[in-house]
């Protein structure tokens, strides 16, 4: 018996997804290998730069903890916006667990949040995933405008170099906001792209009707971006590299692009490549820039692992308690 056209399409789609996943994995390994090779070859040039101190590492960890708290508040507001009645404490725990899950070479964080919210709060996968896609696009657009603002200020009012390649890159990021106003019915796009844009538009409609919510999300986004910038500033200065506030802000807003990929554990190698590319455009040394990002990653990952495991235990108890309550008969 021949297979139905629908089944053949599903199998072809699954095969294509598997091929893309393998290609992304190969690309991720290549990026990591290239960065490691560069560091090893030039290691003797940079050993003398290392002035890593315990107070500096502790400061990075404290900033990461503050970042995690604010990120938990951001996600809690998002969860509530799409219909999940969730407390801030629970939202923080779920965010910490999802961050730990993101250290896997899969989009495990978003899956973890989606499954938990469905199980505990009855939130549909469609609403959650569409809102998350809208947030990712919105954050990329906001960071693009921030980057353009910094570069424009340099170009107009200072003697600092404002590379045209960065203008183009941040301009493309800013243009991603146009996805929310695409006339999908008039534009012929590949079905997969059109479906993703459609979901993003649906998610945007869920959250854009609440100006107070948008103001809160924007404020929290700015706060977390500033924290990431301060972390980079500390990491670069711990490696004896003088950077300005505007430069580390560019590193921070460029880092958001790591949300688009998930083929390496914790986006290993991807963030280093993105920040390294921006640093090279600003005439910093690639190896030192990669080392600075790696130093920040090391401090941050230790915090994410500790918070994630503790949060997983606490959420596990909540789930067990909920299951036990459901299983207890009324008397």
Poorest-pLDDT segment among 42-56, 185-199, 236-250: 42-56
CA distances from 203 to 132, 133, 197 (A): 7, 7, 10
Tell me the C-alpha distance between 261 and 146, whole Å: 21
Q: What is the mean pLDDT of the chain?
A: 78
What is the per-residue pLDDT for 23?
57
Torsion of CA 64, 65, 66, 70, to 10 degrees: 100
CA–CA separation, 286 vs 279, rounded Å? Answer: 7
Q: What is the mean pLDDT of residues 44-67?
A: 76
Compute the average pLDDT of residues 22-29. Answer: 56
Backbone angles phi, psi at 94, to 5 degrees: -65, -40
**Is residue 74 predicted with pLDDT exceeding 80?**
yes
Place 25 in a pLDDT band, splitting at 50, 70 and 90.
Answer: low
pLDDT in tens, 130-171: 888 888 888 899 999 999 999 999 999 887 888 899 999 999
- At residue 213, the pLDDT reads 87
Torsion 34-303-173-203 (CA) sign: positive
12 token code pair: 């072809």
pLDDT over 80 at 53, yes or no: no
Pick from 27-41, 96-110, 300-314: least confident: 27-41
How far is the C-alpha of 75 from the C-alpha of 110, rounded, in Å? 11
Give pLDDT, residue 104.
66
DSSP 8-state assignment for residue 330: P
Angle between helices 191-208 and 211-238 in degrees, nearest 10? 110
């Amino acid at each position: 018996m021949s297979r139905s056209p629908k089944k053949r399409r599903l199998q072809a789609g699954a095969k294509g997804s598997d091929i893309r996943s393998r290609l992304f994995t190969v690309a991720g390994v290549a990026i990591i290998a290239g960065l490691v090779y560069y560091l090893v070859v030039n290691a003797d040039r940079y050993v003398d730069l290392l002035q890593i101190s315990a107070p500096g590492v502790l400061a990075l960890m404290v900033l990461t903890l503050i970042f995690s708290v604010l990120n938990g508040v951001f996600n809690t507001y998002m969860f509530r916006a799409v219909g999940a009645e969730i407390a801030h404490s629970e939202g923080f725990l779920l965010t910490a667990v999802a961050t730990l899950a993101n250290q896997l070479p899969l989009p495990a964080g978003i899956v973890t949040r989606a499954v938990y919210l469905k199980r505990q709060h009855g939130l549909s996968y469609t609403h959650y995933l569409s809102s998350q896609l809208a947030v990712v696009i919105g954050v990329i657009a906001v960071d693009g405008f921030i980057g353009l603002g910094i570069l424009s200020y340099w170009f107009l009012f200072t003697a600092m170099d404002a590379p045209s390649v960065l203008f183009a890159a941040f301009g493309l990021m800013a243009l991603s906001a146009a996805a929310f106003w695409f006339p999908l019915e008039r534009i012929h796009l590949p079905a997969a792209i059109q479906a993703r844009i459609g979901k993003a538009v649906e998610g945007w409609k869920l959250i854009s009707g609440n100006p107070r919510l948008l103001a809160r999300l924007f404020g929290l986004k700015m706060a977390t971006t500033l924290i990431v910038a301060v972390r980079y500033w500390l990491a670069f200065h711990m490696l004896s590299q003088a950077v300005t506030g505007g430069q580390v802000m560019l590193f921070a807003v460029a880092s958001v692009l790591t949300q688009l990929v998930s083929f390496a554990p914790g986006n290993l190698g991807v963030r280093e490549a993105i920040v390294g590319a921006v640093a090279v455009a600003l005439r910093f040394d690639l190896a030192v820039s990669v080392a600075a990002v790696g130093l920040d990653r090391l401090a941050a990952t230790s915090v994410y692992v500790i918070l994630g495991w503790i949060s997983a235990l606490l959420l596990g108890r909540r789930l067990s308690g909920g299951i036990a309550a459901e299983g207890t008969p009324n008397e």
